[in-house]
Amino acid sequence: MKFQTFDTAAFLRDYWQKRPLLIRNPWQSWRNPLSPDELAGLACEDHVESRLITQSSDDWNAEHGPLPETRFGELGKSPWTLLVQAVDQHVAEVAALIAPFRFIPNWRIDDVMVSYASDGGGVGPHFDHYDVFLVQGLGQRRWQIGGMCDDQTALRPHEDLLLLAQFDPVDEWILEPGDMLYIPPGIAHNGIAVGKDCMTYSIGFRSPSRKELIGSWCDDLLPQLTDSDRYCDPDLSFQSNPGEISATAIGQLHAMVTEQLADRETFARWFGQYSSTPRYPETDWRPEDLIANEELVRLLGAGHALLRNPASRFSFIRKGKQELLLFVDGKAFDCSNETTDLAEALCAHTDLDIRPAWLEAEHVVTLLTELYNLGNLSFNWD
């Protein structure tokens, strides 16, 4: 999939995290990458996260997958919606939808959620804390856009869905196959299927909160700290009121906390690992048969291409001119010289064009072999 008429530079300047944008079919040639039956099949799998949203009058009910195959035959005429998360991890054609959005950094990209809705189906008026591109795959969907929301915005009481208590649309469009709608964080929106076979692809982006970052960063730091690293005051001086916590004590205590948190290099390594952790870390993508360096070189020399696992997350942090930290699925790899070039290529492309010189560099081959044996890379046998 490639864009033909979408100006990404103008989009980043004028719309990204600023205001919604409707883009009428920007693709060179739009083709729906997944059938409704294939989506329903994924929702029945144990290892796939899915939800079925059914509507009755003005209320919405949520069922969590995996769904029994018979469930779809039990649905009546009331509107319903099927939502399946991270379909890009299971369907290569859906994973290909992410490539045009690589003008956004890798670490910000989350997944592609796919929805199918019957006539009138939707998940109700809501808002998200993240950016999303909504690509119409099949059929039509009416999108209504409201105002800005935040954590103080009133919600309906519901265990599974964050539905707005009041929704006042200010814009409305009907999207046809190939049309795309960008919605920034916090903007209220409501999508309603128009007719049958309505499929929408939601390319979502991660946006960690301050609360999430501080909590996770501290959780990672705590095991590294010791009980012997304690407050001490050998130069304690007499104070007239023993009830006062002195400015000197506060300064020393505050420094004990902030000095550790302010270590930028340690934070950078932690964040690279944290942000590259897979959405479903319990899934084991390792190949059944591990290979050695020599076998990998032989296969690459025979012309077999290496592909990135769509479920893996690749990113890097530059340390110097020829040094960087490569992060893959929560693991950090120190890279220099040729491995730096390899790491940059791995992060930039989903399929890897191997340079002949790399196959002569042992540390490059060792890194490729390790990533293959971890399931982050695989051979394209086509």
What's the confidence (pLDDT) of residue 57? 76
What's the confidence (pLDDT) of residue 215? 95
What's the confidence (pLDDT) of residue 259? 92
Q: What percent of the chain has pLDDT over 70?
A: 100
pLDDT tens readout for residues 159-171: 788 899 999 999 9
> From residue 83, how far is each of 68, 108, 115, 160 by CA, in Å?
15, 21, 4, 13
Average pLDDT, the chain: 94
* pTM metric for this prediction: 0.92
| Band of residue 226 on the pLDDT scale cut at 50, 70, 90 | very high
Q: Which two tokens stand for residue 349?
A: 């492309």
pLDDT tens readout for residues 258-285: 998 999 999 999 999 999 999 999 999 9
What's the confidence (pLDDT) of residue 77? 86
What's the confidence (pLDDT) of residue 382? 66
Q: Which two tokens stand for residue 131?
A: 């950016």
Domains of the chain: 8-205 (2.60.120.650), 210-221+260-382 (3.40.366.30)
Contact 366, 293 (CB under 8 A): yes
What's the confidence (pLDDT) of residue 277? 95
Task: Please say if the pLDDT value at position 58 is more than 80.
Answer: no
pLDDT tens readout for residues 66-121: 999 999 989 988 899 999 999 999 999 999 999 999 999 999 999 999 999 999 99
Task: Please say if the pLDDT value at position 212 is more than 80.
Answer: yes
Cβ atoms within 10 Å, residue 298: 13
pLDDT tens readout for residues 336-365: 999 999 999 999 999 998 888 999 999 999
Report the residue count for the chain: 382
